[in-house]
Structure 1
Amino acid sequence: MKMRQHYLALRSAFPQLQEQEPFEVTTQELAEALDCTHRNMVLLLQRMQREGWLSWTAKRGRGNRSVLAFLAKREDIALQEAQEIAQKQDLQMAISYLQAMEQESPRGLRVQFQEWLAERFGFHSEVQGEQRLDLLRFPLPQRIHTLDPAAIHYSGESHLVNQLFDGLVRMSASGDAIQPHLAFAWDVDDSRTTWTFYLRKGVLFHHGREMAAADVTYTFKRLQALAPKGLYNWVYMDIAQIEACDDRTVRFVLSRRNEAFLAFLSTNRASIVPAPKRNNHTEDDSPYPVIGLQPIGTGPFRLADRSNGVIVLEAFQNYFQGRGFLDRVEVWSQADRQPNDDEGELPPFQVMHNVRLSDPAAEQWQQIRQSGMTCKFLTVNELRQGPLASADVREAFDFALDRSEIIERLSGDVIDRAESFWPARSTGTTAAQASPAIRPAPSDVQERLARAGYRGEPIVLATIPQYEQDALIVKQVCEPAGIPITVKLIPAEQFQGEDRLHADLLLFAVMLDEHRELRLIDLFKSMQHHMAPSIRASIDRQLSELLSEQNAERRADRFLAIERELTASHRLLFLYRKHLKTAFHPSIRGISLESLGWVRFRDLWFTHASGNKKTAPHGPN
């Protein structure tokens, strides 16, 4: 490893030279380039010559000029160095090293590294002694900041939390029923504010202790303390009381009726964590320590190692629903890449989420169309005294926002025009089946904007980095109408804060899956923070009525009423919806999807005869 660094240092000292081009140089110059003594310089050059990296003909006598020729390309040696660093499971250091090297080398260096890295991904079966070890290794193009259910923000973090933790209940595969999980049964009183759960016996945490009611009470008190404004806080902050009736019974008392409570318990935000031993704490310690990247749950996999960008999960032998087929999962976090919805091609591996395949690849790979879809939209910040505070300007802006052109610029067979969060209920047909809207002429758009009183004032559009491409397309589509848009990027973990209130428009997305109701309530409550007081009060009243409605069909009708009020006043502007697919190699068996369309690792198994094939798909993101 050090020898390659010496060669690269020597090569950098003579950047103007081409490979195979001999040149004369003194031994003194060589020693200075390698920053070592004459004796060590000779030893280093002899070693490099044996490696075939250079040829060197020495001439005796100080001041005499030797003949040197570089044989190995700088990029090849740098790539070998990065590969060795990665093989030691220090992916972040390897990527940082390549980023530094690319200042002097072509950008293709990192592409070559990605291609090499792809060969390490996928399913591998290794025999250790008399035992076969089944390993799945896959890349995750985002940094893992935390594995604490109370603090997760990103889909990759959410997916890993699903492998490490369990909740009291779970959503059915079809997404239309709540089923028992850590709790085998539950009761609710007539007021539907007191919920009692009965816990399974013999469920173990990864550190070996049996789960009890005290862990459940600790979990939700901890969630309230650590994340009072977190995702779905409008559910768990309404828990007025939680008590352990005995070791196997837990009772929740809600401050008001909330028909989303049971569905919330099926999310990974409600994952059960172990209560710490009291005698481990001093008076200065927090009663609710942050888990961070050292999680202990009851899930089908336990965290075995976490270092240098690689997270290693091992099958939990004592999992209460039975041990999974895979022995080990390695998640290689590639934090230098920013994930987005329409990534280009990436190196192949055996399970890909949110994917579009080329026709040749589609013939080789199997695909599952996920039940959920993402929906992109814009909302108006009425607290900012900009042009969109006017209802007439909002209507004209909505008219100017040509969705057909936005979809054309995005391209892709999985993207449709969006008109509702409930497309089947609101129109009875999909947007793809509906007649396309007639495109307005730029002059008509400009005339309508002028009549509304718009005079070309700049509009600030805020979004998260993952949706930058969408924001730039909105900006481009609005330019011909004379609407100047400035795009402001805010990190996802800060998007719910005050920064977004300095923008006129907010671009975001919602996942329409089995947790659609929870996600939409969370969205509408978030939108209330930048609504005018009158509309805010109206939405608050309708959400209260909705959360008191036990019938799912009538709840859907109330959701649609809220949506129509917001779209009619042009406070909510739909852009498009995207269907999601998961592709997988034919050697994989046991494919079933969880929330966000991720594959449950516990269910996967492989046919060993074909498990190591590397035929190439295209484009996960």
Structure 2
Amino acid sequence: MKIRRHYIALRRAYSSIADGEAALTTTFELAERLACTTRNMVMILKRMESDGWIRWESRRGRGNRSELVFLVPLEHMLLEEAKEHVGRGDLQAGLDTLQGADGLAARETFQDWLTSQFGFRSQVDGKRRTDTLRFPLPGKIASLDPANIHYFGESHLVHQLFDGLVRMDSRGNEVLPHLAHAWESDNSRTEWTFYLRKGVMFHHGREMTAADAAYSIERLRRQAPDGLYSWVYRGIQSIETPDDTTIRFQLMKRCELFLPFLATNRASVVPQDVCEAEGERFGVGSLGGSTVGTGPFRLLSSDQRILTLEANPVYFQGRPFLDRVELWTMPIPDGQPHQDSSELRQYQVMHNVRMLENEGSKWQQVRQSGTTCKFLSMNELKDGALANPRLRRLLNRAINRGELLRLLSGDVIEEATSFWLRASGGDKEGRQAPFVPEALLEGELEELIAGLNSYYERSGNNALTLLTIPQYAADASLVAELLAAQGIRLDIRLLPAEQFKGGERMEADLLLFAIMLDEYRELRLVDLYTSMLQHMPDRDASVMNDRLRAVMAEADPAARAKLFIRIEQELTGRDSLCFLYRKHLKTAFHPSVQGITLESLSWVRFKDLWFR
């Protein structure tokens, strides 16, 4: 409402005048404030007075100044303006408007109001019922191109919009048919042939063919040569498409993780014609690119922080029950560990939340839906203090895990000692938890500080450098706090996730990161260990690389797990890998939600949701 914006502008211009007090002014001065004519200003004042916003006492004559009394608090007007922006679908403008509020009250009121806008809504027009789920998505969406995603929210959306040749069951035990209805491999397990479904349509109306599937992998190799799981697709020697429904991969060597890789959203099938026409704009709404897949939903719009997904009526696995899903990307501060459940109570489906006991009873179920593990890795290759195995071990022991868990103090947080251990103290191979580092003795702390000081004198630095991404800034600060209490200084540096695999991290002494232990754990671990090889001396890296090759050549999952554990023991034994804690992710469902099924990262598949 334009008249409201005029009021906000005038109220800010006279911010030193309290509500209910008179400001001495003239219509000419007010007109200058609003860059309008005095005639229009008189009309604006009359409108504001009739609405009860101001009291205006006009005084004529030279030297006489009129009285303007503001009756409505600025925060109230900002709140109403923000609501109007949201009502028009411009969430960003609503959030920006409230940045001008001086106190917290208006922002908290807006947050409460915004919360009430989420959830399930059904509209009936005649006998036609339209079901919409409005869903919050903390964080940002920079790209929906499967080749260029970096955040969990982006990954979740790609699963709704695109499909792969195969898919993984939620437990990670079995690869299932998807765009390919069948496949086979030769005896050497280096040649894989997939047979595609007929009649699968892209969102823009063209039938998907084997040429699109081949193009998607070739494009991934060009777009992200060093991206997530790049060690898998760099191992593809050739791709053939004998006909429109057959695609054949020839691998350079056996890789038992090739099939699980094809189930990841990185390997999603994209349309060759659209991608070639749009280039780097594909999947990036801010650049005017489109997002076209074969998934159960298509992207209708992605404006002003709100992404609207519409049901794909010809989806090959059946039309979704929901007609529309609106995802509102909600900004969260860097390093915020979790969303407080009281702010999410109206959302009806909640991910990665911590719920108080009395709140949990109101929800249909709260299930463990995944685990994320935070850890430190030490740079052995840098010519510095941590090239010394003794100092690495002492620094690892200097981090008080018990105090770290106390500071985190969450029901979803627990001690971590392995990527493979279950919560009950043993893994499926029966291996018990390894020894947890003991606290330093007094003499050992002095030895560590002396070693670090010697490094500082040689290098000219005054602290060890810890590199992480903005999302883990809070964890880095806690580690720095614990070490500072013992006289050990850390310099925390933040690097965007999309740049984290670059050369800059080689200059850091320590890296803090996390790994999601879900159905793609094996892929994620190989990716992690391949990355860690860059921080090890060549001889040790070569031995570790041989062990990774053995993992990829092993067909038996139990045997692969033992090989993974051997690699983990080697890295923890040399204190290159230092576990911090493990966090169990929870997904809660409101009683009105039906058809819950989970996908990768244990996000809910929107396709299967329906409401009573």
Q: Which of 411, 414, 437 is 2:412 aligned to?
A: 414
Q: Give the Cα separation in 1 of the matches to 2:59 and 2:110.
A: 39
1:599 is matched with: 604
1:300 is matched with: 296
Matched, 1:309 2:309: no
Q: Give the Cα separation in 1 of the matches to 2:187 and 2:297.
A: 39
Q: Which runs of 5+ in 1 are unaligned?
A: 608-621
CA positional deviation for 1:174: 2.4
**The 10-residue stretch of structure 1 (543-552 or 590-599) with the greater mean CA deviation from structure 2:** 590-599
Q: Give the Cα separation in 2 of the matches to 1:435 and 1:517.
A: 20
Corresponding residue SS for 1:388: helix
**The 10-residue stretch of structure 1 (171-180 or 331-340) with the greater mean CA deviation from structure 2:** 331-340
Q: Give the Cα separation in 1 of the matches to 2:292 and 2:437.
A: 56
CA positional deviation for 1:573: 0.4
Residue identity matched to 1:388: L
Q: Give the Cα separation in 2 of the matches to 1:532 and 1:111.
A: 53
* Preserved CA contact (<8 Å) 1:148 1:292: yes
* Preserved CA contact (<8 Å) 1:365 1:586: yes
Q: Give the Cα separation in 2 of the matches to 1:80 and 1:551.
A: 61
Q: Give the Cα separation in 1 of the matches to 2:252 and 2:366.
A: 41
Q: Give the Cα separation in 2 of the matches to 1:513 and 1:207.
A: 33
Residue identity matched to 1:394: R
Task: Report the count of equivalent residues.
Answer: 598
1:22 is matched with: 22
Q: Which of 508, 512, 522 is 1:507 aligned to?
A: 512
Corresponding residue SS for 1:481: coil
Q: Give the Cα separation in 1 of the matches to 2:113 and 2:104.
A: 15
1:41 is matched with: 41
Corresponding residue SS for 1:364: coil
Q: Which of 91, 106, 109 is 1:109 aligned to?
A: 106
What is the CA deviation profile of residues 85-115 of structure 1, one whole-angstrom value per residue up to 9, with x for unaligned ones?
121111122222332x14xx12443332222
Q: Give the Cα separation in 2 of the matches to 1:211 and 1:35.
A: 57
Residue identity matched to 1:115: D
Q: Give the Cα separation in 1 of the matches to 2:541 and 2:440.
A: 35
Q: Give the Cα separation in 1 of the matches to 2:15 and 2:472.
A: 40
Correspondence 1:161-180 to 2 at 5 A: 161-180=158-177
Q: Which of 319, 325, 328 is 1:329 aligned to?
A: 325
Q: Give the Cα separation in 2 of the matches to 1:64 and 1:113.
A: 41
2:442 is matched with: 443
* Preserved CA contact (<8 Å) 1:461 1:488: yes
1:228 is matched with: 225
CA positional deviation for 1:60: 3.4
* Preserved CA contact (<8 Å) 1:367 1:581: no
Matched, 1:518 2:510: no
Q: Give the Cα separation in 2 of the matches to 1:23 and 1:228.
A: 65
**The 10-residue stretch of structure 1 (190-199 or 201-210) with the greater mean CA deviation from structure 2:** 201-210
What is the CA deviation profile of residues 321-351 of structure 1, one whole-angstrom value per residue up to 9, with x for unaligned ones?
1111110001112346446433445343111
CA positional deviation for 1:360: 2.0
Q: Give the Cα separation in 1 of the matches to 2:119 and 2:29.
A: 47
Residue identity matched to 2:545: D
Q: Which of 549, 561, 576 is 1:544 aligned to?
A: 549
2:459 is matched with: none
* Preserved CA contact (<8 Å) 1:442 1:481: no
2:75 is matched with: 75
Q: Give the Cα separation in 2 of the matches to 1:374 and 1:485.
A: 24
Q: Which of 517, 527, 532 is 2:532 aligned to?
A: 527
What is the CA deviation profile of residues 64-91 of structure 1, one whole-angstrom value per residue up to 9, with x for unaligned ones?
3323211110011011111111211111
Corresponding residue SS for 1:225: helix
Residue identity matched to 1:373: T
Q: Give the Cα separation in 2 of the matches to 1:435 and 1:194.
A: 40
Q: Give the Cα separation in 2 of the matches to 1:260 and 1:182.
A: 19
Correspondence 1:388-467 to 2 at 5 A: 388-424=386-422, 428=426, 440=439, 443=442, 445-449=444-448, 455=454, 457=456, 458-467=463-472
1:9 is matched with: 9
Q: Give the Cα separation in 1 of the matches to 2:444 and 2:28.
A: 73
TM value normalised by structure 2: 0.93
1:95 is matched with: 95
Residue identity matched to 1:91: L
Corresponding residue SS for 1:126: strand
What is the CA deviation profile of residues 413-465 of structure 1, one whole-angstrom value per residue up to 9, with x for unaligned ones?
111111001114996279xx979969636735523525867658421100000
Q: Give the Cα separation in 2 of the matches to 1:159 and 1:130.
A: 33
C-alpha spacing 1:125/1:277, structure 2 compared with 1 (3 Å): closer
What is the CA deviation profile of residues 117-139 of structure 1, one whole-angstrom value per residue up to 9, with x for unaligned ones?
11111111112343111101122
Corresponding residue SS for 2:547: helix
Residue identity matched to 1:317: P
CA positional deviation for 1:371: 4.0
C-alpha spacing 1:387/1:127, structure 2 compared with 1 (3 Å): same
Q: Give the Cα separation in 1 of the matches to 2:354 and 2:230.
A: 35
Q: Give the Cα separation in 2 of the matches to 1:603 and 1:442.
A: 56
Q: Give the Cα separation in 2 of the matches to 1:327 and 1:580.
A: 28
**The 10-residue stretch of structure 1 (443-452 or 493-502) with the greater mean CA deviation from structure 2:** 443-452
Q: Give the Cα separation in 1 of the matches to 2:585 and 2:203.
A: 33
C-alpha spacing 1:46/1:347, structure 2 compared with 1 (3 Å): farther
**The 10-residue stretch of structure 1 (440-449 or 12-21) with the greater mean CA deviation from structure 2:** 440-449
CA RMSD in angstroms, aligned pairs only: 2.4
2:249 is matched with: 252
Corresponding residue SS for 2:338: coil
Q: Give the Cα separation in 2 of the matches to 1:343 and 1:481.
A: 31
Q: Which of 194, 197, 207 is 1:197 aligned to?
A: 194
What is the CA deviation profile of residues 180-215 of structure 1, one whole-angstrom value per residue up to 9, with x for unaligned ones?
111111000000000000111121111121111111
Correspondence 1:262-301 to 2 at 5 A: 262-276=259-273, 290-293=282-285, 294-301=290-297
Corresponding residue SS for 1:251: strand
CA positional deviation for 1:143: 1.6
Residue identity matched to 1:303: L
Q: Give the Cα separation in 1 of the matches to 2:63 and 2:300.
A: 58
Matched, 1:575 2:580: yes
C-alpha spacing 1:434/1:392, structure 2 compared with 1 (3 Å): closer
Matched, 1:209 2:206: yes
1:616 is matched with: none
2:181 is matched with: 184
What is the CA deviation profile of residues 509-554 of structure 1, one whole-angstrom value per residue up to 9, with x for unaligned ones?
0000100000000000111122221221111010011111111111
Identity of aligned residues (%): 50
Residue identity matched to 1:581: K
* Preserved CA contact (<8 Å) 2:335 2:473: no
Corresponding residue SS for 1:570: coil
CA positional deviation for 1:484: 0.5
Residue identity matched to 1:354: N
